[in-house]
Every structure is written in C-alpha cells, then in structure tokens.
Amino acid sequence: MLTLDTELSHIKGINKRIIAGLAKMGIATVRGLLLHLPARYDDFSQASGIADLAIGQTATVRGHVRKISMRRTFRRNLTVIEAVIADHTGAIRAVWFNQPYLMNTLAVGTPGSFAGKVTYAQNGLCLSSPVYEPEEAEATHTGGLIPIYPETKGVTSRGIRYLVKPILQALGQIPDCIPAPVLKYAKLPDFTTALNAAHFPQSLEQAETGKKRIAFEDLFLLQMANLQTKMRLAQEPATPIPWTPAERDHLLAALPFTLTLSQRGALDELLMDIARPNPMNRLLQGDVGSGKTVVVAIAALLAAKHGFQTAILAPTEVLARQHYRTIARLFGAAIHDWHSSVALMTGHEARMFYGEDLETAVPKARAAERVKDGQLHIVIGTHAILEKSVSFHKLALIAVDEQHRFGVEQRATLGKKTSAASKAAHPLIPHFLSMSATPIPRTLSLTVFGDLELSTIDELPAGRLPIVTKIVPDASRTKAYDFIRAQVKQGRQAFVICPRIERASADTDEGIPAAKSHWDDVKAVEEEYDRLAKRVFSDLRVGMLHGKMKSAEKALIMKRFADGELDILVATSVIEVGVDVPNASIMAIEDADRFGLAQLYQFRGRVGRGEHQSACLLFTANRSTIARERLTALMTAKNGFELAERDLLLRGPGEFLGQHQTGLPDTMMGALKNIELVKAARAGALATLEEHGEKQSPLLAERLAKFKHSIHLE
Ligand code: ADP
Ligand code: MG
C-alpha cells in the first residue's frame, strides 16, 4: 500500500533517472516528494486565440498539430522539434529542444493544449517549449495554475508534476497528525487538502493556504516538543532555595545603586522560581549593560547563604573574569559577612575570594577540591571547564551566559555529580538560568525557546547617554581618526573592530575554511593593528586582541585596556560579548556592513557604559542601498528587539542565531517569521497537551518522535 513513508524507488514505473535526481535533492520518500513544494505557479488558465498572441506573453493555446518535424543542430548537437499549431483563429510555430520523444506523442492532427511563452524568432511568433497536454486528459499541466518546482539535473518541473499527481490521487485521504480542533482553530485545511492545494491550486490564494498548513505542522510539532519538555521538567525534583526577603534586602542595600524596575521584576521572577521544588528553566534577556549579572549574583548569594552552590558559565575567560570581579566588587562585604565564597576557574588559573583579597591565585586542583567539598559557593568559569573537570557538593543553580540551551541531561549530569544528591533517591536537577544580550525576536523566543520561561530587562540603568552612531564613508576616514584622537586626548579610550576577511581564491585548495578564516581573522587584525599603531596613531598607545592569542595574553591586554594603559584596542569579534570598560567611549567598526545587525548592536553596547558621551563609527566602503539601509536601521531602531526583528526578516533566523543554537533545519526557519502562525501553533499545542497530556494519538506521537529525532531535541 502506498503511504507517505513509501520509498520512491519501491514504486513501480518511476523512471530511475528521476529517482536518482530526486535523491540528489534529498528526496527519497513519498513524503519528501510531496513536501517538495512548488517555488511558484505559472498562470495558464486563460486559453488564447492564436491570432491574439503577443510577444512576451505566457499563454495557453488550444489547437491541433498541423505540421511537425525534427532536426539536429550541428554545432551544439541538439535535437530541435518544430511544429505548427493551429486553431480556428490562426497558426503559430512551436519549438522544443532535446525532447525527441515528442515526435511520438505529437502526430499531425493531434489535438491538445499548449502552454508556454510567446517569443519572436525567424520572422514570426513562436511558442517556446510549450507544455503539452492531450485534449482529453485532465488538465494537470496546462489548465489553471501550473506548479513550477525547484529543479535539478534530470528532474524537471514537468517530471515532478507527472509523479505528484497520480501519487496524490492514489493516497486519497491522508490521515492528519494534527488534531482537527487545532486546524479549525488555526483556520487551516487538513493535510490532504493542503497538499492538493499546494501542488495543484485553483488560485494563488489557495496555494498559499496549502503551504501555510504544511509549514504549520513543523511549528506545531516544535511547540509540542518544547511544551512537553517543559511539562516533564516541571515534574522533576529540584532543591528549593529558602531565601528570605530580609536576606534579599540586605544584598540590595549593599549595592551602590538601586535596581531598575525591570531588573527588579526579573529578580523577583528568578527568586520565586528558585524557591520552588521543581527546576527553573528561564531565559533572562537584556541589552548589554542592562545589569543581568547583578541579578544573577543576588540569586547566587542567597543560595550560598543557605549552603548551596551556583555555577556561572561564561563564553570566554575574559568574561568569566569580569563576572568574578563584578560580583566580588559589588558584594564583597556580604560575601565576607555570610562566610560565602566566590571562585574563578578557567583553563589557566583559579582564584578564590572570601571577601578580602580578590587576586589570590590558587592551584586549580585545590580550587576543585573546595568546590567538591562545598566550601566554594559561587563558581565562575567558562562553559567548558565546568562541564569537564569540576564536581560539586550541592549544586542548586546554573547560570549560563550566551548559550541558550543547556540540555536537561547536561544539567542532570552536573546535578548528579553532587555528592549530596547522589545519596538521594532522585538526582536533583539544578535550577537553570540562561542569560542573553542577543535580543531574541518574539517569534523565536516563543518557538525555538518555547520550553523556557522568559524574563526581560528592557531598560538601561538611569544616566546612560544614548550613543551617537554614524556611518563613515571612506572619504571621511581622516576626519573620523581626528575625532578619535581628540577623544583620546580628553582621556577616553576606543575600540576598533575588524571583521573576518575571506580570501576566496587562496582558500580553496586548503579545504578547511574554518581554520583558514580564523587565520584570516588574525591577519586582518594584525594588519589593522600595524596600520593604526605605526602610522595613523603612532602617537597613541594601541593594543591588539584576537581569539588566537593565549588566554593569559588576552587577559593581560584586557587588563591593560581596563586600567587605562592602552588608548585604542584593535580586536576581532572576541570583544563582542561582555567586556565592561566604562571609560571606553568610541566603538569604531571596520567594514561594518559585513556584520549582522544584532552583532553590530552588541559591539556598540561595549561603549556608553560610563558617564561619557559615546560614539559608534561604522566604517564602510559598501555603497549599496541595502548595506546603507541596514546600517541606518542601527541608528533608528529604538531598542535591540526592534533590530532583532529586522535582522530576522533580512537574514532569516538561521543566520540570526546560527544553526547550532536553534538546532532547526533551515526549511523550517521560514515559517518562524510568521508570528500569527507561530502563535496559533503554540495555542494549538498547549490545548492539545492540556486535553490529552502524554496520551497523544498514535499518529501524532509517532510524528513527534521522528520530529524530535530530526531536530536533535532528544
Ligand atoms: P549585563 O550583564 O546585562 O551586560 P552587567 O550586569 O554587567 O550588565 O552591568 C553592567 C554595569 O552596570 C555593571 O558595571 C553594573 O555594576 C552596572 N549596573 C547594573 N545595574 C545597575 C543599576 N541598576 N544602576 C546602575 N548601574 C548598574
Ligand atoms: Mg553580562
């Protein structure tokens, strides 16, 4: 029996070459074929009288073959079939290339429809390679809208149409995995109707609705998967952290500032969650400098007060060190009074802080021992180090910077490693907080991160001046450098960011683009550094920072910059996340058009953190309107979220987040742009789960399992 899962190669009578061609496009099953949707539709619905045809028109002609002949061209060795098609108004030539079999189909006198483009050749009008449909046949190809598919060698649109039509007919009514009430709610047709509409629509509108329903399925399954994860996790045991309002207020009072309203809101949500006996799963979003670290630190300290441990994971060592310092600087007294402790653990060093000396280095093994016996409460390190080499005594909270997903298994493993928990019957799953300065558009946070609760800090601490942002064309370069020099003379500091350079020609024979482009990164920065340090700013102190430097070297450069010993720091995008130097007031970005908007936004966030008026200079040699429009968006957008939405529309979510972060196939990404569809999918999934819980229909359960497997959710 023919089903969606039937392999095309098992269906009798399908041409082997088409099967091979489809396989090259990744299409092997009936489902794959049916989900290979038309890219567009040609409208051949109106039959025209031959006498009325005009050059350039795409038309359907009803008539009969009056004459037909085949010849071969010598130069290009093509077969050419020429025919004359006639109807009651006149006659027109038709030409086909390399379709010799048509000689058998189109004998003189054959009636039918011919649909194609009207061109002018050899003194007359001509139908060029028209699609032919016999008179009696059902109008697969020429009546109404004709689907045009993405093609490949050996697989033409016509070939696909010939396959799809009978397969759809043979399948009949295909069971739909989406519950009927959900489709009704979303105002979408069932799967069978949708497939027929997408492949052989009566109108473009119908085609769109069909395609929408097909996209909806992925969104729905994703929501189901995320919500299921969320519900399952909510039933796992976790350590409730019994903080008291008095303790919280003690910490708040120790701060040299008051939290912004939205910091306070996020803090309340976070603290509420960690007091519960089920694991928190929360994403804390907020612009760079909005004060996320402080919020997390308060939660960590409250946990420490009650003897629990927190791991704070940063993407880079520079950032880990910065978190360590921020927490020590802001909460030194409380850490001391509460006999708490903070540790910094990176690949290269370990430091411990008990409220007094910040920079005491200790052997890493000793720090690891203290973590294991529970004497170190707040452990700050890079993602990698904590996953690998450290086990905890009572790990209750994990906070991760700029890494949205942290598998439940990873958490359970870290949690299990704790000696206290291993004695308990159930391993406790630590509470989890993901922090992100990448503003995530709403559609994405609703879908891709649909298993996470969301907290948002959407205001900056008072007193920050808006950053003046300017596009600098090459002609104004000197002026911009003068401006930077003048700022430095007033005591300010500047970043200069260089993008990756891709040298297409030299790269190819090496075959390892990733390694190569890293190298090019370094080279770009080194060249720019040379130029600035030796020529443009030879009178100033210029430093360099890139990802290939040893981490001790990086730390030293960052420290020198932070301490004001360098005026200008030339860097790659390593500077992107984190880094807090309030005295830096200029962010200059070379070839700014090569970065994504969200990334540029992150760079800009590096400045404007102190009391000084800051500026962001976007150097670009690209004069295209699109480049200019994108950069202008950076100047006009009210906040990161607005930019993120624009970036999403311009570049698509895959580019936006990077495939590794979403784990979703590109084909699904398009649907994520449609907020209404996303909302409907979420509502539908919620209702389905509320009604049926874990007992979904067998078909839905099966599809869901396959889907999860395909996006590596499980
Ligand atoms: P994020 O992690 O969101 O980028 P941080 O937590 O590192 O931001 O905070 C950036 C800077 O702002 C830090 O120096 C921090 O001490 C300071 N800060 C945080 N919250 C406030 C506030 N409410 N008022 C004033 N300064 C604040
Ligand atoms: Mg931060």
List of residues 6+ apart from 349 with CB closer than 8 A: 361, 364, 552
612 within some domain:
yes
- pLDDT score, position 312: 94
Judgement on whether residues 309 and 448 belong to the same structural domain of the protein: yes
- Pairing outcome for strands 90-97 and 58-72: unpaired
Long-range contact list for 702-705, CB < 8 A, 24+ apart?
702/177, 703/177, 703/221, 704/221, 704/224, 704/225, 704/228
Judgement on whether residues 60 and 108 belong to the same structural domain of the protein: yes
Residues, Cβ < 5 Å to ion ligand 2? 293
Q: Is 387 in the pocket of ligand 1 (CB under 6 A)?
A: no
Give the CA-trace dihedral at 49, 55, 59, 65, to 10 degrees: 60
Judgement on whether residues 159 and 118 belong to the same structural domain of the protein: no
159 within some domain:
yes
Residue 616: its H or E element:
strand 615-620
351 within some domain:
yes
666 within some domain:
no
- State the CATH number of the domain containing residue 391: 3.40.50.300
Nearest CA residue ID for atom 11, ligand 1: 289
Q: In angstroms, rounded to a whole number, what is the distance separating the alpha carbons of residues 462 and 346?
A: 33
Judgement on whether residues 58 and 13 belong to the same structural domain of the protein: no
Q: In angstroms, rounded to a whole number, what is the distance separating the alpha carbons of residues 405 and 398?
A: 12
664 within some domain:
no
Cα dist from 585 to 142, 311, 567, 608, 668, whole Å: 65, 32, 11, 6, 41
Judgement on whether residues 442 and 475 belong to the same structural domain of the protein: no
Judgement on whether residues 250 and 164 belong to the same structural domain of the protein: no
Judgement on whether residues 52 and 111 belong to the same structural domain of the protein: yes
Pocket test for ligand 1, best of 262, 285, 293 (most atoms within 8 A of CB): 293
Judgement on whether residues 335 and 448 belong to the same structural domain of the protein: yes
φ and ψ at 350, to 5 degrees? -135, 140
Q: Is 262 in the pocket of ligand 1 (CB under 6 A)?
A: no
Residue numbers of the domain that contains 227: 174-235+674-714
DSSP state of 8: G
Atom of ligand 1 nearest to the CA of 323: 7
Strands (E), 337-420: 342-345, 350-353, 361-362, 378-382, 395-401
- pLDDT score, position 73: 82
321 within some domain:
yes
Q: Is 581 in the pocket of ligand 1 (CB under 6 A)?
A: no
Low-confidence ranges of the chain (pLDDT < 50): 419, 421-422, 425, 501-519, 658-661, 713-714
413 within some domain:
yes
Which bound ligand lies closest to the C-alpha atom of 296?
1
- pLDDT score, position 538: 93
Residue closest to 115 by CA, chosen among 135, 134, 99, 129 = 129
pLDDT tens digits, residue range 627-681?
888 888 888 877 777 777 777 776 665 555 544 445 555 556 667 777 788 889 9
Strands (E), 627-698: none
Residue closest to 443 by CA, chosen among 151, 624, 261, 647 = 647
662 within some domain:
no
Judgement on whether residues 566 and 625 belong to the same structural domain of the protein: yes
Judgement on whether residues 193 and 281 belong to the same structural domain of the protein: no
How long is the chain? 714
Cα dist from 654 to 369, 576, 659, 668, 671, whole Å: 41, 19, 5, 9, 12
Nearest CA residue ID for atom 26, ligand 1: 461
Cα dist from 357 to 186, 288, 335, whole Å: 61, 28, 12
Q: In angstroms, rounded to a whole number, what is the distance separating the alpha carbons of residues 392 and 415?
A: 8
Q: Is 580 in the pocket of ligand 1 (CB under 6 A)?
A: yes
517 within 8 A of 502, measured Cβ to Cβ: yes
Pocket test for ligand 1, best of 251, 262, 294, 614 (most atoms within 8 A of CB): 294
Atom of ligand 1 nearest to the CA of 263: 23
Domains contained in the chain, number: 5
Judgement on whether residues 304 and 434 belong to the same structural domain of the protein: yes
Sign of CA dihedral 150, 155, 158, 161: negative
Cα dist from 589 to 162, 169, 635, whole Å: 54, 58, 14
Judgement on whether residues 330 and 385 belong to the same structural domain of the protein: yes
